[in-house]
Structure 1
C-alpha cells in the first residue's frame, strides 16, 4: 500500500516537472515570436535608420569615454548640443532622440528624456529652426523635357517607364521598385497596380493604384511599361531591374536608391541642378502638377494615398501663391 502511494507520488511529481518544462518551452517560443512582431512593427527603412543613428551615438560616446547604455542626462544633452553645433538638421536630431529612446526602452532602461533634455531640444529647435527645405518637384513640363533626352535603347526604355509610372502613380521610391508583374492588372481604362506594402500601409492591406492611358503615346505610362516588359522579356517577378553594361537585364530588382540616381541623371541632362531633386520629386511633382491643373484635394489624395491632407495642401498653397495676390496690379 505504502509502495503504491510512493509510486503514485513519484509519477505525479515527474509529470508535473515535465508539464512545467513544456510550458516553459512554449512560453520561450512565444516570447521569441513576440519579439519578431515587435521588430516588424516599424518599417524596415525606419529600423535601419534607427540602427544607424544608434551606432552614431555609441561611437560619439566611445570617443569621449561617456556611457551610452544606459546613458546619462549630461551625456544626452552634450550629444544633442554637438549635433546642433555640427549643423545637423532638426529632423535628423529628432530621429536620433527617438533612436536613443527606443534603444533604452528595448533594454528595459529608463528613457533618458528628462525635463532638461526637453529644454535643450526646445532651445535647439528655436535656434536652428525646424522648417525643412524639400527637394524640388518634377512638374509635367520638366518631365516632358526629360523624356526628350532619354535614349531609345533598352536602358532608356526602362527609365522612361520608371519615370512615367512613378509620376502618374505618385509612387514612393520603395513602392515603385517593389512592383512585380503579378501586381499589374490590365483593364479597359489602363492598368491597376496592387501595392503589397507601403509607408502608410505596413499591415499588408490591399491598396490599389489606377494608372489611366495617357493622351499621347510618347508620354503614356501604360504604353511605356508594356514596352519595357516586352523589350526586356519580363513575364514575372520584379518589373524594374538593373541592366549591365552589356545590355543584359538582371534578375535583381532595382533598389530604391537607384530611383534617385536615375532622376538626378536626367535632371542634369536637361541642365538643371541635380542637388535640387530626388527620387521623391516624381511623387511631389504629380501632386504639384495636379494642384496647378485644378484637381481636387480629394482626387490628389486618392491617387497619392496621402493619409494626411497637410502635404497635399502644402502643394496647393505653393501653386496658388500668385493667384489673387494682393500685390498684383497695384501700380508697381
Structure 2
C-alpha cells in the first residue's frame, strides 16, 4: 500500500554550539514554515490536500507509487479522471496539487514528459477547457430575491448578506470572513477583515484576499442606498441590532429555532443562501451561485454604463482584462452588429 499524506516542508537541520540558540532557531524555522503555508489561501491549501489524497488513493488502488510519481503514473491518473467525467478545470487543479506536493518534498515531477504532455493535450481537446459560468444576479434579480425574505432571524441575516454582497462585490470567502469590528478575531484563518460604520455608509477593511496573500489590504466603500428598503447599510445595521452582535463574525449560522451560533458562516453557505432566495423568487436556482453577487454587481454597473476603472477597483482586479470579461458579457446584445441588420 502507498498511503502518502501530503508532504510537510522538509525539516531544517540546525547545529549550533548552545542549546539556547538551537531552541530559538528551531522556533524560527517553525515560524518560517507557517509563513510558507500562508503563501496560499486557506481554500487553496484545503483543495490541494484533498486533491493529493485522491491521487494517493488512486495510486494505492493500482499498486503505483505516488511520491515520487512517474510521468506514466500521472498520465494514467489524468486519463482515469477524464474517463470518469471530471472537468478540465478539476484536472488542472489536481495536476497543480501533485506538482506542489513534489516541490515541497523536493522531488522532480516531469510534467513536460510526453506521457503527461500529450495525454493532457488530448484530454483538453476532447473535453474542452471552457468553464460554464454561473448567472450574475442582476439588480432586478436581487430585488426579486429580497421580496421573498421575511422578518425572521434568518431572513434578516440573508437580507443583509445579499445586499452587502451585491453592493460590495466581495468574494464569498471575503464576505463571510468579515467581523463586526476591527481586530476581533485575530488568528482566525477564515477571517478576512471587518466593517466600520461611518457618515458615508460602511467602510470595509480587507486585511487579505485571494489576490492579496501578502496582506497589503484594501478598503472598500459601501454608501447608503437610495431606497430604505434596499439600503445595504440599513440592512446590515438592522441585522446586527436584531442579532445583538457587537463582536466577532458578522454573518453566522442560524438554527431552525432562530438560535444564532457564535461561529461564522462558511463560503459555501453564501451559495446556498443565494440559491434558496433565487428559487423562492421563481428564478432558475441551479444557474446561480455565491459568485453571482459579485458578478452581478459588475454586470449591472456595466449595463448602466459604469466606469470600467471604478468596477475594477471595487472588485479588486489586478488586471483590466478580468474586469472587461464582465463588461463584454453585459454589452453582448447592445454592441452586437446583428441589431443593425434591420431584421
Tell which structure's C-alpha radius of gyration is larger: 1
Write the distance in 2 (CA, Å) between the matches of 1:118 and 1:83.
15
Query: Shift of residue 18 of structure 1?
Result: 7.5
Selected match of 2:323 from 312, 328, 332? 312
Tell me which of 258, 261, 264 is aligned to 1:253: 264
- In structure 2, C-alpha distance between the alignment counterparts of 1:231 and 1:214, rounded to whole Å: 20
Report if aligned partners of 2:275, 2:288 keep a CA contact under 8 Å in 1: yes
Larger relative helix fraction = 1
Shift of 1:247: 1.5
Residue 164 of structure 1 corresponds to: 163
> Contact 2:89–2:129 at 8 Å: present in 1 too?
yes
Q: Write the distance in 1 (CA, Å) between the matches of 2:212 and 2:111.
A: 29
**Cα offset for 1:259?**
0.9
Q: Does 1:29 align with 2:27?
A: yes
Aligned match of 2:184: none
Are 1:237 and 2:236 counterparts?
A: no
**Taking structure 1 as reference, are residues 324 and 304 closer, same or farther at Cα in structure 2, changes over 3 Å only?**
closer
- Is 2:70 the partner of 1:72? yes
Shift of 1:324: 3.9
**Residue of structure 1 aligned with 2:79, choices 78, 81, 106:** 81
* Distance (Å, rounded) in 2 between the aligned partners of 1:290 and 1:236: 33
Are the counterparts in 2 of residues 76 and 112 from structure 1 also a CA contact under 8 Å?
no
Q: Within 2, Cα distance between the matches of 1:30 and 1:235?
A: 36
1:137 shift after superposition: 0.6
- Name the structure 2 match of 1:206: 217
Q: Distance in 2 between matches of 1:18 and 1:44?
A: 35
Say whether the 8 Å CA contact 1:160–1:224 is kept in structure 2. Answer: yes
Question: For the aligned residues, what is the CA RMSD?
Answer: 1.7
Aligned residue runs from structure 1 range 259-298, under 5 A: 259-298=270-309
Deviation at 1:24, TM superposition (A): 4.6
Distance 1:176 1:47 in 2: 19
After superposition, give the CA deviation of every residue in 1:148-180 in whole Å (9 maximum; x if it has no partner).
111122211111000000000001111111111
Give the Cα–Cα distance (whole angstroms) in 1 for the partners of residues 213 and 292 of structure 2. Answer: 23
Q: Secondary structure at the match of 1:194?
A: strand
CA distance in structure 2 between the aligned counterparts of 1:320 and 1:114, rounded to whole angstroms? 40
Higher deviation after alignment, 215-224 or 179-188: 179-188
* TM superposition outliers: structure 1 runs of 4+ over 4 Å: 20-27
Describe how 1:209-224 pairs up with structure 2 within 5 A: 209-224=220-235
Distance (whole Å) between structure 1 residues aligned to residue 262 and residue 93 of structure 2: 35
- The verdict on how the C-alpha distance between 1:247 and 1:75 changes in structure 2, with shifts beyond 3 A counting, is same
Which consecutive unaligned segments of at least 5 residues does structure 2 have?
1-14, 182-193
TM-score (norm 2): 0.88
Q: Which residue of 2 aligns with 1:19?
A: 17
Task: Give distance in 1, aligned partners of 2:18 and 2:249.
Answer: 48
Q: Distance in 2 between matches of 1:211 and 1:159?
A: 17
Paired residues, what number? 316
Q: 1:153 to 1:27 in 2, by over 3 A?
A: closer
Aligned-residue offset at 1:203: 2.2
- Alignment partners' CA distance in 1, 2:301 and 2:333: 17
- Counterpart position of 1:11: none
Kindly indicate whether the alpha-carbon contact (under 8 Å) linking 1:54 and 1:96 is maintained by their aligned counterparts in 2: yes
CA deviations over 1:251-299 (Å, ceiling 9, x no partner):
1211111111111111111122222111111001000001000001100
